[in-house]
Amino acid sequence: MTHLADAAGAGMIGAKLGEGREAEVYAWGDRAVVKLYRPGYLGHLAESTALANLDGHGVAPRLIEVVNWDGRPGLVLERLAGSDMLALLQRRPWRVLALARALAAAHLAVHGVRAPADLPDLRQVLAARVEDADLPPQLRDFAMRILDGLPSGDRLCHGDYHPGNVLVAADRISVIDWANATRGVPEADHARTLLLLRWADPLPGTPLISRGLMAAGRAVFARGYARTYGGGSGRPLQLVDSWLVVHTAARVSEGIEVEQPLLIGLLEGARRNATR
């Protein structure tokens, strides 16, 4: 792997394939893509660490090299076929259950992998995000107290595992977007996915018709994912509801305006239940 060597050959970079808040993804030659982080974002550190560790497991694209493109860090990744599971759910809503099970199976495979020691501890990452969240003090304290009682772990946690970060091809499912990878217990990573599947606002700009389909399908999808994950883990899941509370508080720090009333309401409900 070249270590932030300047990428050679302007001809390598091709069409833009996708973009998010932190990065843009472009074709890179015929068989690869390059994920270029926006200036100031450091997600490439966790992403390259996680991907290097996942090499050979068959659940993520292979990391080919780390480059510097025009002053921006870029990860050159094996180019995967297929489309992301969110798009697939919209095109083929009748496959909702099969896709939910596939999402859970791939998540279990991820949690079978031991995390490298240099990834951050998920509990510390969550503590920082809860501290940072714009929350009434009593709700922040409530979430922090719960987090204090939760365990650390040594499993690879993705940190943002949802259908938009899973690519589905005929013969293979691959997990992408490892910028938030951490070290923790599986339940913690599982709870973040439950929160997103149940409550997260669909990406801004989603057409109304897909929003309708999503509302109808998401409960079925979330239940299918939860059942398969729970059934396949081979042991009783521990403290998922507690992790859900902490993730709900941490989610507030992402500042997604339309979600805030719902998140606060969920936290108030959990706090009332706990003090009853």
Ligand X SMILES: Nc1ncnc2c1ncn2[C@@H]1O[C@H](COP(=O)(O)OP(=O)(O)O)[C@@H](O)[C@H]1O
Q: Of these, 13, 23, 67, 250, which contacts ligand X (CB under 6 A)?
A: 23
Q: Would you say 201 or 268 has its CB closer to Mg ion?
A: 201
Least distance from C-beta 167 to ligand X, angstroms? 6
DSSP 3-state assignment of 89? Answer: helix
**Which one-letter amino acid corresponds to residue 202?**
P
Report yes or no: 2 and 65 within 8 Å, Cβ to Cβ.
yes
Q: Would you say 85 or 252 has its CB closer to ligand X?
A: 85
Least distance from C-beta 22 to ligand X, angstroms? 5
> What part of residues 146-175 is at the interface with Mg ion (CB under 5 A)?
165
For position 140 contacting ligand X by CB under 6 A, the verdict is no
Q: In the chain, what's the furthest Cα-to-Cα distance?
A: 65
**Which one-letter amino acid corresponds to residue 153?**
G
Q: List the single partner that 17 binds among Mg ion, ligand X, none, CB under 5 to 8 Å by kind.
A: ligand X
For position 20 contacting ligand X by CB under 6 A, the verdict is yes
23-28/63-69 β-pairing = unpaired
For position 193 contacting Mg ion by CB under 5 A, the verdict is no
Using CB under 6 A, which of the segments 3-11, 17-25, 237-245, 260-268 binds ligand X? 17-25
- Residue 213 exposed, middle or buried by CB count within 10 Å (0-12, 13-18, 19+): middle
**Backbone dihedral region of 78: left (phi > 0), alpha (psi from -120 to 50 degrees) or beta?**
beta
Residue ranges in contact with ligand X by CB under 6 A:
17-20, 22-23, 25, 33, 35, 61, 77-80, 84, 165, 176-177
